[in-house]
Amino acid sequence: MDRVNLPPTSNLVKPSRAELLVAAVSVAATLLAVLAVVRLTSLEETRLERFGNATAQALAELAVEPLTRQDRLHLGVIGNRLAELDTVTGVASYGPDNTLLASTGELDGVRFSQPVTLDDTLVGYVRISVDPAAFQAVSGWRYPLLALAGLLLPFAIGAGFAFARAARDGRLRPAPDPVDDDSGAEDAAPPPPAGDIRHYLVAVNLYNQLTLPADQREFELSLCLELAESVAEVYQGQVVHLPGIGVLLDLDHTDDPDRPFQILCAAFLLLRLLQEEGPFGRYRLGLHVVEQPAEETLALDHDAVADASLLSALARDGTVAASASLVALLDNTARLRSRPLVNPLLDELATSGPNCRLVTELESPFSELVFRQSEQLQAQREATSSPSTF
Could you list the pLDDT tens digit for every one of the 390 residues in the chain?
555 454 555 554 455 555 555 555 555 555 555 555 555 555 556 778 888 888 888 888 888 888 888 888 888 888 887 888 888 999 999 988 888 999 988 888 899 998 998 877 888 999 999 988 877 654 455 555 555 555 555 555 555 555 555 554 544 444 444 444 444 434 444 444 557 899 999 999 998 887 788 899 999 999 999 999 999 999 999 999 998 889 999 999 999 999 999 999 999 999 999 999 999 999 999 999 999 998 888 898 899 999 999 999 889 888 999 999 999 999 888 999 999 998 877 888 999 999 999 999 999 999 999 999 999 999 988 887 655 555
Question: What pLDDT was estimated at residue 202?
Answer: 97
Q: Report the Cα 53 to chain-centroid distance in Å.
A: 16
177 falls within a domain: no
What CATH number does the domain containing 266 carry? 3.30.70.1230
Encoded amino acid at 247, one letter: V
Q: pTM value?
A: 0.56
114, 137, 172: which is the final residue of a domain?
172
88 falls within a domain: yes
* 139 and 216 together in one domain: no
172, 205, 221: which is the final residue of a domain?
172
Q: Is the peptide bond before 132 cis (omega within 30 degrees of 0)?
A: no
Tally of domains in the chain: 2
* 289 and 342 together in one domain: yes
Domain that holds residue 353: 196-383
CB neighbours of 213 closer than 8 A, spacing ≥ 6?
none
* 144 and 25 together in one domain: yes
* 208 and 158 together in one domain: no
Question: What pLDDT was estimated at residue 211?
Answer: 78
Question: What pLDDT was estimated at residue 83?
Answer: 83
* 315 and 376 together in one domain: yes
* 206 and 119 together in one domain: no
Question: What pLDDT was estimated at residue 386?
Answer: 55
74 falls within a domain: yes
Encoded amino acid at 324, one letter: A
* 154 and 234 together in one domain: no
What CATH number does the domain containing 116 carry? 3.30.450.20
8 falls within a domain: no
* 200 and 151 together in one domain: no
Among 172, 207, 228, 277, residue whose Cα is nearest residue 62: 207
Among 23, 50, 37, 61, residue whose Cα is nearest residue 312: 61
* 164 and 227 together in one domain: no
Question: What pLDDT was estimated at residue 390?
Answer: 52
9 falls within a domain: no
* 147 and 210 together in one domain: no
222 falls within a domain: yes
6 falls within a domain: no
* 163 and 280 together in one domain: no
Question: What pLDDT was estimated at residue 133?
Answer: 84
* 168 and 226 together in one domain: no
Question: What pLDDT was estimated at residue 284?
Answer: 92
366 falls within a domain: yes
